[in-house]
A = this chain, B = another copy of it.
Amino acid sequence: MDNSTIQQPVSSAVEPILAAAEKLFSEHGFAAVSMREIGIEARVSKANVFHHFGTKDKLYKTVIQRIIRASTELLDELDNGEDNFHSRLLRFNNGHLNNILKNSQGACLLIQESMALRSGHGQQMAAELLGNQFNRLVKLISMGQKAGDLRADADPAMVACLLVSANLFFFDAMPVIAHLDSVNFADDPDKYSAGVIDTLFKGISAQESEQ
* Nearest CB in chain B: distance from A160 CB, A: 8
Interface string of A185-211 (1 = CB under 8 A from B): 100000010011001111111101110
Chain A residues with a Cβ closer than 8 Å to the other chain, count? 68
A149 within 8 A of B: yes
- Decide: A116 and B176 in contact? CB cutoff 8 A: no
Which residue, A127, A150, A176, A210, has most C-beta atoms of chain B within 10 A?
Answer: A176
- Decide: A151 and B116 in contact? CB cutoff 8 A: no
A164 within 8 A of B: yes
- Decide: A155 and B117 in contact? CB cutoff 8 A: no
A75 within 8 A of B: no
**With A119-B32, A175-B116 as contacts: A158 and B196 at CB distance below 8 Å:** yes
- Decide: A206 and B149 in contact? CB cutoff 8 A: yes
- Decide: A156 and B131 in contact? CB cutoff 8 A: no
Q: Which residue of B lies closest to A179 (CB)?
A: B131
Q: Which residues of B contact A117 (CB under 8 A)?
A: 27-29
A50 within 8 A of B: no
**With A28-B117, A199-B155 as contacts: A182 and B150 at CB distance below 8 Å:** no
* Nearest CB in chain B: distance from A161 CB, A: 6
* Nearest CB in chain B: distance from A119 CB, A: 6
Cα–Cα, bound, A200→B205 (Å): 8
Q: Which residues of B contact A205 (CB under 8 A)?
A: 150-151, 201-203
A72 within 8 A of B: no
A134 within 8 A of B: yes
- Decide: B180 and A169 in contact? CB cutoff 8 A: no
Q: Which residue of B lies closest to A160 (CB)?
A: B182
**Could you list some 12 contacts between A and B, CB below 8 A?**
A104-B116, A112-B112, A116-B172, A130-B173, A149-B206, A150-B204, A151-B204, A155-B195, A162-B166, A164-B169, A200-B200, A203-B204
User: Across chains A and B, which 3 residue pairs bring their CB atoms closest together, nearest first?
Assistant: A203-B203, A165-B169, A31-B32
